[in-house]
Amino acid sequence: MMGEIMKDNVKWGVIASGGIARRRTIPEGIIPSANASLVSVYDSRADTNGEVANEFGAHPAESVQELLDGDIDAVYVASPVNKHLEHVMACAEAKKHVLCEKPLGMTVEEAEQMIGKCEREGVLLGTGLMMRFLAQHREAHRLIREGKLGKPVYGRAQLSCWYPKMEGAWRQDPLTGGGGSLIDMGSHCIDLLEMFMGRVKSLNCYIGNNVQNYKSEDSAVVLLLFEDGGMATVDAFFCIPDNSSKNALELYGSRGSILARGTIGQGEEGAMTAFLEDDLQDYDSQQARSNGDGLVISPEPVNMYRAEIEEFCNAVLEGRDPVNSAQIGLRNQKLLAACYESARTGRQVIVN
């Protein structure tokens, strides 16, 4: 059974301590968080796990079960996608709350199994869609919610990088990662666009392998149609050099635009500017453009990984769903499934 949680602290274990956990979530999320402490880590590579444990002062568990038997309240699951179902179900069985990296599972059905199990066991399940917590994204969301952008008309979200073929890279085989650039990076873009523009009604998707020679797609483009009529595109590639892709975020509405570079990604802050009209004029046959600099959106930077962990800890301590809930993860999974169906059939897919 789950032990009694301290009033202001959640004790964490980590499954798959290498990779993103070691690079970002442990050092930037769990360690500095005011309401979290790292207790135990596990990785299938014992040498890597020992290094992580030594680096961050945690117990190096030799198995998932040893980690779950320890004095922890919550588990961060960062394993390959084909292991998410197994690991989340084990955590729930052990009465541990779970923050699982996106996507929740390989399929919508797996995500639903995880959600059902966690509900039955009385534990929280959250989804690692940390880009929702970036300060500039939250400020843009506020401006849109307050009507400053007018009616959302068009959006674009881009996340691309250079990801060459590497031995054992689980994202490069759909049997272990569920897919390639679309599910790994496009998922964040789709989630952000729904956050800004509302629910997607239908979509068209194209995927392929333009450069990289592996089984997962290295190229993906998605066209989204939203319930209120707005439209958006997502471009996610594993075959564009890092410095050539500026990870653009563009949001256009009937009263202006919000344009950003570098806010989508793993860093704390990019550059975001709003061009908003106070009073719309009559049609201008000259279509004159102002050279104004716009309104720079630069709130106090927030580390996404720390914000994600602290929010999940607060949800555990307060007995409520986290902002990055399992339902948001399930919605993202359904959209990804629709994308792959569209790419496979060459048809538009309606999303329920």
Provide the CB-side half-sphere exposure for 142 (13 A, CA). Answer: 9
Whether 179 is covered by a domain: the verdict is yes
DSSP label at 207?
E
38 and 185 in a common domain: no
**Residue where a domain terminates, one of 129, 154, 189:** 129
289 and 222 in a common domain: yes
Contact in structure between 263 and 134 (CB atoms under 8 Å): yes
141 and 57 in a common domain: no
Tokens of 200: 């997607």
d(CA 298, CA 304) in angstroms, rounded, equals 15
Q: Write down the pLDDT at residue 297.
A: 95
**Residue where a domain terminates, one of 302, 320, 347:** 302
For helices 84-93 and 108-121, give the axis angle rounded to 10 degrees.
10
d(CA 61, CA 71) in angstroms, rounded, equals 12
Q: Write down the pLDDT at residue 22.
A: 98
- 71 lies in which domain range? 10-129
150 and 66 in a common domain: no
What CATH number is given to the structural domain containing 77? 3.40.50.720
Provide the CB-side half-sphere exposure for 238 (13 A, CA). Answer: 27
The β-bridge relationship of strands 200-208 and 219-226 is antiparallel
Q: Write down the pLDDT at residue 122.
A: 97
139 and 276 in a common domain: yes
What CATH number is given to the structural domain containing 154? 3.30.360.10
Q: Write down the pLDDT at residue 3.
A: 45
106 and 33 in a common domain: yes
297 and 198 in a common domain: yes
198 and 241 in a common domain: yes
152 and 103 in a common domain: no
Block means of pLDDT (10 residues each) for the chain, length 352 residues?
64 97 98 97 97 98 98 97 98 98 97 98 98 96 97 98 96 96 98 98 98 98 98 98 95 97 87 86 46 84 96 97 96 98 98 93
261 and 149 in a common domain: yes
297 and 155 in a common domain: yes
Tokens of 220: 């993906």
Domain count of the fold of the chain: 2
Whether 310 is covered by a domain: the verdict is no
Can you give the pTM of this predicted structure?
Answer: 0.93
Q: Write down the pLDDT at residue 268.
A: 74
263: Cβ–Cβ under 8 A, 6 or more apart, which residues? Answer: 134, 136, 137, 247, 249, 269, 270, 271, 272
